């Protein structure tokens, strides 16, 4: 048996929506990477405490429990995978992969068990269903009843709003209320955002581009609170996917971008990115609302109680420490103007495209982040309005297309070399040579021709060569003279023409038209 086991098309459930990805078992860890978001779940092998093999809706699934109380569930295995996974777990993790049957009796009376961050409803010691407590948004109690409400996922076609549990009225051994005890067990692990206690620090009147406005940002240990004149947002750090720090092209401003999943909502609008704009000249002195020892113990030297410097550096440093994610900055790319971004337009707005080490990000309206691993191919296309610019098209593996237009022609060589170095599939490989001439723009593959362009060229040749020719249909209206042509002309058209021109002619055309009527 090898050192690793790898499985594709493995699914995990996130707040009612299925996400597919790739799962790898190695001697050191269990790693799952989502295809949709690129988020990575990593479970160190020493922390793995239990494993179950179960029959689920998508084939077979594995439930993994850790010593820290976390539970991971992955579905989409085949029945034949059990033997090799079980042997791998015994050899490398010293963990038994136990088979567990789900209860399908349809009973609604059972036992609620709290295991780590999971609520399991069991009948005869077999689970009927399980609820990840991190999906719980609120828990309310009534007389002998507990109502559990859930966070909603925009990607789910059907969402579960709430579940109600009836709790028998008997008191516990210590005289406690079983309803309150049930609710406290739920709330202790639920993702309920409550602004209790003092904020670690507060940033006043920060300029926010998305959503637009000026917001006070209060930093709490587990979430971020945006307070504006009209709207308030509470963003758990668990929903932050990535952090970006991007220099503006004018070298006087900085973008700080926070990627969110799930997004924050404002009415029917969803914001997947929070974008802050800073001036490089703006300075700040900040004192954290914590003691020196507490700061050192909690953040392990990443932060200090008193900090001073440029505002964008302070904000990014605090966010990096609390969210515990790396900050992505532009790599080695330099454009024609020696900047790390390219001016372009996406849809109806002008913005900046940043080539990164592992993807592209466009700011700011609307923001777009594309990872290299989700890109199928790129295409360099001719500009639609002028030959002084070109379009850069990106097609993803999900067949979505993003077109960044009006890029200066001087940026082409740098961008082409960057894409080539990253080994991205370039659709029209021969386009670079064609860029040397003004007529060499092409927005299709080498083996495809532009039918519209060819037809226009052909019509142009015909128009140039056939100015004096009577066979050209386009010239027939101008060169048509009823008095000079006697045959193959429709009679009605000829008679009308002779009548309308009779006053301007000598009268010959009138005699000819009367002769034709007699012949009729």
The answer to whether position 350 is within a domain reads yes
**Is residue 289 in some structural domain?**
yes
pTM above threshold 0.85: no
393 and 418 fall within a common domain: yes
Residue 69 lies in a domain: yes
Q: Which segments of 280-400 are extended strands (E)?
A: 283-287, 306-310, 327-328, 342-346, 349-355, 359-363, 368-371, 375-382, 389-396
CATH code at position 308: 2.30.29.150
Cis peptide before 165 (omega within 30 of 0): no
Query: Do residue 278 and residue 322 come from a single domain?
Result: yes
Is the Cβ–Cβ distance between 275 and 255 less than 8 Å? yes
Q: How many domains does the chain have?
A: 4
Indicate the SS3 state at residue 293: helix
Last residue of a domain, one of 367, 392, 422: 422
Q: Do 87 and 120 share a domain, yes or no?
A: no
Please, are residues 433 and 426 in contact by the beta-carbon 8 Å criterion?
no
Inter-residue contact 305 to 201 (CB < 8 Å): no
Torsion angles phi and psi, residue 457, rounded to 5: -65, -40
Q: Is residue 278 part of a domain?
A: yes
Residues 88, 36, single domain; the answer is yes
**Last residue of some domain: 67, 99, 131?**
99
Range of the domain at 384: 342-422
Q: For residues 493 and 382, give the distance between their C-alpha atoms in angstroms, rounded to a whole number.
A: 46
Residue 160 belongs to a domain? yes
CA angle 185, 191, 194 (to 5 degrees): 95
What's the length of the chain?
520
Query: What is the residue-level pLDDT of the chain in tens, covering all 520 positions?
Result: 568 888 988 888 877 778 888 999 998 889 998 887 778 888 888 888 889 898 887 788 898 888 888 888 899 898 888 999 999 888 888 888 888 888 888 888 899 888 878 888 998 888 888 888 888 877 888 888 888 888 777 777 788 888 999 988 875 566 678 888 888 888 887 766 665 567 888 898 899 988 888 898 988 888 888 888 878 888 888 889 999 999 998 888 999 999 988 788 777 788 889 999 999 889 988 888 888 888 888 888 888 888 899 999 999 999 998 888 889 888 888 888 888 899 999 988 899 999 999 999 999 788 999 999 889 999 888 766 666 888 899 999 888 899 998 888 888 888 888 998 888 888 865 544 444 443 433 333 333 445 555 556 666 677 666 554 444 444 434 444 444 444 444 444 444 444 444 444 444 544 454 444 444 4
**Domain shared by 135 and 250, yes or no:** no
Q: Which of 372, 405, 422 is the C-terminal boundary of a domain?
A: 422
CATH (domain of 89) = 2.30.29.30
**What would the 3-class secondary structure string for 158-198 be?**
CCCCEEEEECCCCCCCCCCCHHHHHHHHHHHHCCCCCCCCC
């Amino acid at each position: 048996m090898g050192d690793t086991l790898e499985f594709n098309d493995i699914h995990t459930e996130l707040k009612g929506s299925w996400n597919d990805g790739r799962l790898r078992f190695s001697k050191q860890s269990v790693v799952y990477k989502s295809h949709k978001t690129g988020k990575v779940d990593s479970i160190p092998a020493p922390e793995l405490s239990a494993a179950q093999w179960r029959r689920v809706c998508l084939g077979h699934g594995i439930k993994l429990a850790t010593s820290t109380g976390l539970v991971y569930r992955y579905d989409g295995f085949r029945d034949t995978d059990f033997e090799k996974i079980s042997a791998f777990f015994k050899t490398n993790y010293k963990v038994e992969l136990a088979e567990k049957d789900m209860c399908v009796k349809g009973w609604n009376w059972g036992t609620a068990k709290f295991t780590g961050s999971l609520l399991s409803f069991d009948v005869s010691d077999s689970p009927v269903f399980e609820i990840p407590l991190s999906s719980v948004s609120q828990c309310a109690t009534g007389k002998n009843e507990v109502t559990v409400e859930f966070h909603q996922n925009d990607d789910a076609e059907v969402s579960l709003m709430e579940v109600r549990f009836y709790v028998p009225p008997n008191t516990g051994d210590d005289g406690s209320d079983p309803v309150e005890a049930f609710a406290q067990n739920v709330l202790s692990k639920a993702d309920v955002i409550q602004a209790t206690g003092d904020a670690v620090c507060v940033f006043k009147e920060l300029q926010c581009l998305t959503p637009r406005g000026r917001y006070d940002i209060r930093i709490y240990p587990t979430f971020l609170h945006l307070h504006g004149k009209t709207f308030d947002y509470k963003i758990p750090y668990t929903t932050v996917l990535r952090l970006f720090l991007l220099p503006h092209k004018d070298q006087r401003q900085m973008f700080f971008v926070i990627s969110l999943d799930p997004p924050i909502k404002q009415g029917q609008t969803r914001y997947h990115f929070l974008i802050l704009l800073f001036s490089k000249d703006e300075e700040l002195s900040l004192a954290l609302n914590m003691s020196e020892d507490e700061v050192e113990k909690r953040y392990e030297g990443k932060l200090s109680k008193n900090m001073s410097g440029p505002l964008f550096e302070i904000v990014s440093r605090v966010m990096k420490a609390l969210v515990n994610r790396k900050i992505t900055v532009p790599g080695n790319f330099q454009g024609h103007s020696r900047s790390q971004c390219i001016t372009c337009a996406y849809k109806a707005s002008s913005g900046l495209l940043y080539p990164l080490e592992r993807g592209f990000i466009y700011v700011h309206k609307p923001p777009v982040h594309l990872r290299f691993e989700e890109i199928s191919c790129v295409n360099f296309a001719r500009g639609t309005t002028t030959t002084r610019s070109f379009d850069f098209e990106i097609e993803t593996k999900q067949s979505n297309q993003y077109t960044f237009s009006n890029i200066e022609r001087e940026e082409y060589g740098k961008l082409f070399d960057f894409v080539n170095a990253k080994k991205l599939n370039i659709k029209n490989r021969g386009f670079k040579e064609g860029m040397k001439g003004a007529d060499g723009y092409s927005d299709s593959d080498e083996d495809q021709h532009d039918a519209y362009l060819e037809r226009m060229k052909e019509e142009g040749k015909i128009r140039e060569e056939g100015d004096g020719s009577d066979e050209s249909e386009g010239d027939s209206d101008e060169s048509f003279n009823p008095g000079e042509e006697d045959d193959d002309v429709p009679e009605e058209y000829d008679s009308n023409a002779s009548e309308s021109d009779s006053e301007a002619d000598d009268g010959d055309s009138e005699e000819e038209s009367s002769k034709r009527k007699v012949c009729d």
